[in-house]
Structure 1
């Protein structure tokens, strides 16, 4: 009789375990505003919008925890947004200032900059909006120039990695060209290569004040009903255009996609455990429906098992502490 449970004794389990999860696999997303005091995001208990001045303390905490790094998202007041999202690529933009401060105070901390326009545009879309015969739409090619400017400004500020998330066709090629010609050929691109038009982004849009003013993003983000061919095509194009790292977003609903990409592309893969995933776990734990520690770590192990080299998660600091406690 076969007895798989013979390998599940307390002494053997660690020896035969194949999936490793450590704090270095985790990236902490940070929402950054210019000034004031930190503000908790109501739909994401434990997650805050932080003023720039608090970032060195948060960066030190990330380093002490052994995290792989942080990724920055800018938050602007509504009155400072405009149709072309100038705040995304301004020399004194909130993310550019945050990067300079972090790299000056904590040069050993990996700082990733999210490269998009939605947090900075008055209409909340990820690019230049035009009006056509079928209504408003995002002009893909006009947006590429602004994304390239944004990435270059982030590299000039000192970002270690730029991470384009707008899902515009050709964005990786445009950004690679701008970085190379601007004197930053060494700065890698972490592409949100496979990003779905997901229902799990709601809390993020509250945190970053980036909900679309009209319509949705299904015209440029991927259809959850599409087959694996769509993910392979998107990831393959970004790979060819010069992405150094590829990401799947969200993580848990698309573990099958992550696993399929792992066997086909020779680039490190990342996954984003997005705001809705975090909120579901956190709120269920607060209600007493789940053991938070066990549930969060179980999901992170699943993402690693599916093939993610790195995981962006709002639970990074808590998970790092739990992993160290054993």
Structure 2
């Protein structure tokens, strides 16, 4: 019978306690098939379940930082609670109130950015700090985590019945600086689904002119005509044709950020058009100074070019 939480680190299931705590409720004890984990109604001391959760978190922290506990033992003592976020909640505030790193909340709940938190949908709260890296990544942060050189950890199935996700649980681990920057970048993501980085940000010799200079963006090689998407919500601030960038689009975002998309074969936007993150804006091409089909992608804040690879993580 499938369980909510089982371990494959040693090829053995976790203690029978977890079957009682997680499997039976998820297999039908809840009304109308609803999620039936230990449910926290309020994140304050008046909620007895929340008090128990904080006690579990404190115990896990002591075990992690005051003693040498192997990952398998931390996995066996892991407990998971549920909480339904309110409209006023955000992932960083929830992490602070639960005394658990936001990395643990984000990775267990498969959030790629803080904005992915959905009010009204159950959020899983693990008792232990750590990372939960899924076997099959489903978003950009998970692909970035999966590309890291981390090898330790314990494999766990977290889910119910036939719907389970296999995670690699790394007790006490946190996001790297690059991963943290990616998660906190306020929703920026790569504008192509499939690409190879053909020229990174930084000093280089211009492949067309042969002159040394600074490449202020990323060149993302992709087939001619591939769809290009808005990297974040924004407004089309400028578009047209340039001798260097060819057909290009500039989108203005919040916090004085802009993104630029160059060498397009086709522009699919209009000036002053409001866009949502992921909207189609153009097609990959080789217009302007270009040696082949690719997208020149820039991110600028307050007029200063920033390295998209450091902000978003280069992992393809």
**TM-score, length of structure 1 as denominator length:** 0.24
**TM-score, length of structure 2 as denominator length:** 0.25
Which one has more relative contact order, counting CA pairs under 8 Å at least 6 apart? 1
For the pair shown, which has the larger CA radius of gyration, 1 or 2?
2
Higher helix share: 1
Higher strand share: 2
